[in-house]
Amino acid sequence: MGRRSVHHHLAVIRKHYLAMIVSGQKRIECRILRRRLAPMGAVDVGDRIWFKQCCGPILATAKAARVRWQTLHDCRHFESIRRRYGKRICAEPGFWPTEDDVWYVGLIWLMDVDVCGPIWIEKSDRRAWVVLPGAPKPTRTPKPIRSMRSGRQEPI
């Protein structure tokens, strides 16, 4: 049996979380789902994750060092996750669910974080995680604008 190939993933995150990943402060990406959707069952150790800023470009990438999924049936169980991993998740107030339901919780430890891009890609849906067919390829570049002073075209 051979080693499985590395999969590529697009994770859409807020700008301040992206900054914390790049700085090394946020070392675990946490995804909380109500339904079994990606990245559940799709991301594995060694996979490449591309971090796209909400309404912006891809600005960083990392490898999955460790992946852990669990199903919770009571929101009180989030407290143990928050206590154990909270500093490395860097969740803002209001992140953790407060109502009982079935929750799927994924913890993805990050390693080899690199700043990249900006890589602009076409994405028009609302999915926060997408399994990619390969490394993302830029689909658009910033539009040139005219400089007010020189009249020359300069990138945005």
The CATH number linked to 138 is: 2.30.130.30
Residue 2 belongs to some domain of the structure: no
Backbone angles phi, psi at 107, to 5 degrees: -115, 125
pLDDT the model gives residue 116: 93
Closest CA to 70 of 40, 49, 92: 40
- How confident is the prediction for the chain on average, in pLDDT? 87
Residue 101 belongs to some domain of the structure: yes
- Distance CA(130)–CA(150), nearest Å, equals 42
Residue 1 belongs to some domain of the structure: no
pLDDT the model gives residue 142: 52
Backbone angles phi, psi at 72, to 5 degrees: -115, 140
Residue 150 belongs to some domain of the structure: yes
Range(s) of the domain holding residue 29:
8-154
pTM for this entry: 0.85
Residue 67 belongs to some domain of the structure: yes
Question: In which element (H, E) is residue 78 found?
Answer: helix 78-89
- Distance CA(58)–CA(55), nearest Å, equals 10
- Distance CA(46)–CA(139), nearest Å, equals 26
| Count of structural domains within the chain | 1
Q: Would you tell me how many other CB atoms lie within 10 Å of the CB of residue 154?
A: 10
Residue 46 belongs to some domain of the structure: yes
- Which tokens in the block code for residue 40? 């559940």
Confidence of residue 151 (pLDDT cuts 50, 70, 90): very low
Closest CA to 49 of 104, 146, 130: 130
- Distance CA(15)–CA(23), nearest Å, equals 12
pLDDT the model gives residue 124: 87
